[in-house]
Structure 1
């Protein structure tokens, strides 16, 4: 007699090589909750930190995708330099995404993952589906950086007040510093400097 708890299927192969397809399971933790973890922080502090980090995480996922889109769509005299720069920035944003998602999980929360859920949480304005002029694309990136920086500065101060040094450190050392540096690089591309002097 089989001890397998799964129900038998008429199409089931007895050799065990057939994958169990189309499975669905119960949700074991709802988004917006935290489970108890021994990390020396109160449940309320961890819940608050997860909410704030998930907000920054959602905006960062949108910024990453904008970087990839504009990396592909770049054009003009500085195409090559901007093509490489935007891809480099996208890679750095991807590293931040992983760091923030892991922080939420470390606190016992659930990191925002589904792109449709990200779209519900973000405050970064939706860009047009088509191709804008290069300065407009760079300006959109700068605006997204500033939104993330405003949110991160506020969140860092508030989680610090709750004693969450780890989240504060990630927001300050990783998110804020990376976004400030990237914003500087982008802003310098919007200075009206002629390519050659007359």
Structure 2
């Protein structure tokens, strides 16, 4: 049964696609943060290992929330690596070293890229597709990524 929530069906499809792209970004960022957690080395190993764990746990909750938003709008959330890699605007990078500052810089750049992407779409959801709920939702998501970026940035000072 199609949701009858005051948003045109054609808009629901567009919104679900954009949310699927966000979900793909979140998944790639989650994976990169897990990689940092597992593979970080150096004198600050323990503190950054724990720090990265907190970040990927938060990203895990975000992924679930984005996927549930897609389902709320009557669509299926992407759930394969192939789909995520085709939808994301982030890139997987191979690293030559596993130092904490390298991981932090890379993750910070991804969070900031996500913040910009979310900020650019807030009004699109509200004005173009008349979905104030998703607009509000991604505003909160943007604020979460801003805070996560701040936490990463603080390690670089």
Q: Deviations over 1:151-188 (max 9, x none)?
A: 11122211011221221122111x21111111001011
C-alpha separation in 2, matches of 1:181 and 1:115: 27
Question: What residue number does 2:108 align with?
Answer: 142
Query: Could you say what the CA RMSD is over the residues aligned between the two structures, in angstroms?
Result: 1.5
Offset at 1:78? 2.0
- Any conservation in 2 of the 1:63–1:144 contact (CA below 8 Å)? yes
Q: Where in structure 2 are there 5+ consecutive unaligned residues?
A: none
Equivalent pairs counted in the alignment come to 156
- Tell me whether 1:163 sits opposite 2:130 in the alignment: yes
Structure 2 SS opposite 1:58: helix
Q: Normalised by the size of structure 2, how large is the TM-score?
A: 0.92
Q: Larger helix proportion, structure 1 or 2? A: 2
Offset at 1:107? 0.7
Question: What residue number does 2:27 align with?
Answer: 61
Q: Where in structure 1 are there 5+ consecutive unaligned residues?
A: 1-34, 192-198
Question: What residue number does 1:117 align with?
Answer: 83
- Any conservation in 2 of the 1:45–1:159 contact (CA below 8 Å)? no
Offset at 1:130? 5.8
1:179-194 to structure 2, matched below 5 A, reads: 179-191=145-157
Q: Deviations over 1:19-60 (max 9, x none)?
A: xxxxxxxxxxxxxxxx73111111122122111111111011
- Any conservation in 1 of the 2:44–2:100 contact (CA below 8 Å)? no
Offset at 1:127? 1.4
C-alpha separation in 2, matches of 1:94 and 1:177: 16
C-alpha separation in 1, matches of 2:97 and 2:137: 34
C-alpha separation in 2, matches of 1:84 and 1:101: 26
Structure 2 SS opposite 1:110: coil
Assess, with a 3 A threshold, how the Cα gap between structure 1 residues 133 and 81 changes in structure 2: closer, same or farther.
closer
